[in-house]
Amino acid sequence: MANSIPTPPAKTQLPVEVIGCDLYGQQFFEDARTVTIHRGGVSIFLTNKLGPDSEVVLRNPENNEEAIALVVGQTSGDRSGHVYGLAFLDPSANPWRIQFPAAEEARVVHLKCSGCQSTATISLSDIELEIFEATRELIRSCNDCNAFMAWREPRRETAEKKPGNSPVQDPNPGTIASPIEERRKNRRAGMRTAACVRFSGVEVVVACEDISKGGFRFTSGKEYPQGTRMDVAVPYTKSSTNIFTPAGVIYCHKLPNGQFRHGVSYIKNRKSIGWDP
């Protein structure tokens, strides 16, 4: 009778090779070790910096099995590196062939968008729960803001004035899918095309690197700081009718060559956007 693979402890350090593009768009290959392993993902300490919602390939060097994973959060970090939470795009992925215990009931949390203040109830996966317990927030798409926002637990109101009263909550919070499920549906597609950015009445044609349903990424010699609101046309064709859409910059990073890489998310209105309120 074959020996069964033991159930892993919460913290399991196993070798892993990570292949992807860093925050600056540079391809990298890094030998690392896992920090924790879950049924649906892992947390890994990396010296390379990763952008939110980016994809990497994880490879078990012992059997060469691979899995594609999404960056769903960051739990800690310092000058030497960061611990990222990565969720498998394929829920059945198991590069280390670990025998996990029976799945426990999913943790459900009630969260509020830091932008528009709308509320939603989210069923967390195991790796999302690890991220949430470490940071007390999740970065996910908001339908009202039409951007990736920080979602946090609503602040509990004190009942000093009216003892015995429970905190006021939205009686009909929206029920939404797991952030991982949403990101699986809105995966970026690599596309080298032109985009036009209209800011303060000036239109600038930029190089668009990739596109998703919720936004795109572009590089430019001009810096547009995080939170900048603009109108964009993607794709853009000169001397033709182009439709401009309201959008906002959710991150901006300076590249070694002096250019700036921007992550842009479409918005439905002119409310503030960004990772923080």
Asked whether residue 82 falls in the same domain as residue 133, the answer is: no
- Indicate whether 272 belongs to any domain: no
- Indicate whether 7 belongs to any domain: no
- Indicate whether 2 belongs to any domain: no
CA distance 216 to 35: 31
Domain extent for 120: 107-185
Q: Which of 185, 203, 223 is at the close of a domain?
A: 185
Asked whether residue 176 falls in the same domain as residue 135, the answer is: yes
- Indicate whether 276 belongs to any domain: no
Asked whether residue 19 falls in the same domain as residue 76, the answer is: yes
Asked whether residue 114 falls in the same domain as residue 173, the answer is: yes
Tell me: cis bond preceding 256? Omega within 30 of 0 counts. no
- Indicate whether 95 belongs to any domain: no
Count of the separate structural domains present in the chain: 3
- Indicate whether 66 belongs to any domain: yes
pLDDT at 1: 43
**Closest residue by Cα to residue 125 from 61, 45, 195, 181:** 181
Query: pLDDT tens digits, the chain, 277 residues: what are they?
Result: 444 444 444 457 899 999 888 877 677 899 999 999 998 899 999 999 887 777 889 999 999 899 989 888 888 877 888 999 999 988 889 999 888 887 777 788 999 988 888 899 988 888 988 999 999 988 777 777 766 678 899 875 433 334 444 434 444 444 445 556 655 555 554 445 788 999 988 999 988 877 766 778 888 888 999 889 999 988 888 777 888 889 888 888 887 788 888 888 887 644 433 333 3
156 vs 111, 164, 210, CA distance in Å?
12, 14, 40
Asked whether residue 111 falls in the same domain as residue 175, the answer is: yes
